[in-house]
Structure 1
């Protein structure tokens, strides 16, 4: 099997599964319970929080464990909106966001918030000056992805954060789900107020994640109850999930120093450039683990089905919207034609993939395209 759909989800690492199983079996008590077993579990949870904080180089108190990217993005965006609506109802984002940002912003429009959707360049990025131009007196939040989940564009997050420091009342939220462990991002003392991470994108388990909340950022909680996670996320903590997430985070940080992703990216890009009829959508300077291209005239599901018969698995766009057969909103935002925007295919690598797998994929892709052309003759 060749699995090139790692931006949708990754295969859990055996050590991650093992940590989840052991904690679930032996540290099952509620960490809020006052008996000794509950106290042991609470200590384990706080140890995991400290380890997570150390791995992403932030204070322990800024780490909030969540169920993943969608919850993290919703908590950050809606939390800011509801907490700070008395001083402004204007939010800035881009036209090329993941559905968990785009749809969340759209939902807030129904509550009277005004959203500015900044256009992106053909490479899927926005410029810091354009972000600054959009800031108004009633702006309370800027939210965007670090790495685009479809085409791999890398936003100039550090530069945008620097610009926004001139506007202390404007909070900056970054969705770093696709960048974690692949594209470096410094959080502490950079102007980033909120940042979302997900476990299942880094060989962790589904239902695990982390939201970084800077000391200066105040959020209205979406979940009320026991005031767990600093009052931001009530509910009995998923301690096994938190511990397993930290294990996955540690493992991916160790692998981040390897250059295998760049090597695979460069090999695949060079091969794709030589195949007639392919349009490459990923920018040259994008994230190395994502390569997106279109084959105009051929429905993407035809190629995906053909490759899957060879046990090669790729995708079209965000797994959260891939069942929607319409054109990719990201490619449309980048100015692509309907033919290109509706025929996109995404390859997403992990550190476990190999050059041999890329070679096999290219060979089978060529076959699939050729077979389709012969059918049309």
Structure 2
């Protein structure tokens, strides 16, 4: 732990879309808190481009993330590589480096177990669920507490209109995917992730696709459920269906069940690649009204989330709207800095990240029960 207010020397592993559009620009914006001192990526071209842009000297640009972590010279690490982060997170913690880990934290519960075992060290870890740090979410949590907290929630409805990546990222003018990825190393990493998927849910293609949607996207909604009501108590219904017979390989997903205090939740994640804009709506219904959150695309920095609080007033309905252009990802970085320098507990650490994995595996197991799909790995037990 360093002293509060000190700049953190941070290393960034993985220079893909989320790093380019969000993390690196915000780390540079918050130069009062962070100093980008090392980068890693499989692509030498990406390393050269972004290393020059963010002032990282050539000797601190690595094509191997593990080598970057062992090279020293940093106070913390941000993991934004593709696939499971369990292995790199464990390596970072063994080196005593606090971790900000993009989701998914891991593919398997066994990986998360190694992040808290005797060999993990004592460095803290935060999972990157930036929506938990959104000012509108914080205000919704405050209002919910005033009316009785989780016990007051009658139902939670979540609808995600998941627009295609090209729709969400057209504004960013990102360069084409790099062509200099080392084929053998990339194949080795893909094979490792395939083995982890087998260990998590088995070999059924539908189950694996569902699981990846859960841990890569719906996990944000599970994190909000945990924040407002606690993790789902049951998974009663699961359905997946394609947009069209010749449509995208990822289906739409529907999940519902019971909340810990007795209310119900329902999540609809609709894969709509040609939808003009991403939109996510989370509504908490209670006896006197509702709290409705509407999130824009996460790639649009400082685009406000809208909270509408609806309740009775006299003989009618009163609506109060809250918006803030304070960026959720930036608030997450501020919270990470506080975790590293002052020991402030993150909203999602290893235990909470493992809880979301556990819920995701319960969804897959219920999917198998309802469809007859053969579920294996941890999800089957």
What TM-score comes out, normalization by structure 1 length?
0.31
Considering fraction of residues, name the structure with more strand: 2
